[in-house]
Chain A
Amino acid sequence: MIKFTLGIALAIFAIIVGGYQYFANEDLIVRQNQRLLDIERQKVDAQQVQIRLRRIADKLMPRGDDQRANIEKLLNLEETKLTFRFLTQANPTDPASRYFYRHDFEITGPIDYFKGMQMINKADNLPGAVLYQTCFNCTRLGRGVTASTEAGEQILLIKGYLYVHNPEGNSRG
């Protein structure tokens, strides 16, 4: 009687515990397979992103070149009365700025129409620059800028983003 009960109890216990463990393990196997697929998918995605990264990195300003003096030199601002300013300063050490970061910049000051057009063209073709506002004969100057216009000159305001690429972040990825 005890043997019979023990045998039945053992079988039932084994079936219940085993069944529960079986489904738990099956769930784990499905999750691990899914995770494996996700990692493979991420790997492919990462490769594609790397390709895109390399493609757009050439159009951006390399890290270290995003210095005010360097940009003023690139735009030949010494020959004009225009002023270049960074409106926001990105933190290159921020983990979110591992691959790219951007500055807001502003170029403002009195200039004649022809040189103003040239300046806009130069700013638009500056590596990593994305202009979002230009204004001729603006009534509003940049913050803290005071300027007096001479004959034939108007106030020019150029605003945009300067995207900077961090090659070290790219190599780490």
Chain B
Amino acid sequence: MSFEIISMSSALMEKQAVTEIEKCNDFTAQYGLTLSHQDVIELIETRNFALKSNGRIEFGGGVINKIIREFCDSPYLTMDNYAETIHDLTEIFYFYKNETLDLISDDELIEFMKNRFDGRCQGSLELLSGRELENMARNLRYGYAPNYSVDPERDKEDENEQY
């Protein structure tokens, strides 16, 4: 009769989360991106797995929605890689919530991920996770701003590339 917070929460919240994510299809359809009911269930499973493996617990179902709404206008997302990318982004998101010691809010982290994914990483999840977020997390842990860089020249080049 012990209180198992994780098992209690996941059972309760899942149904609500599925409905919420399915609702996002109305918004993402304009970009030619939609998720099937099966995709949504798998996304929830990924989220639960990511939460468990990172030792976290979530009470609302908002993060996947936020990721979808932020990333749906990315030029690097197509219907072919949409579901898979959202899976990876969800895992990356929870991993870096821990790595940043919760010093950054959900919205800020998702916004940072989107900027770098569309910018420097040009749609590469490996670069996003292994380089950009890694640097950002290190900066935060050492008390710098998330965008701090020891090589400002490179930053300028990157900014130019975006135009």
Check if A and B associate.
Answer: no
Hey, which bits of chain B sit against chain A, CB under 8 A? none
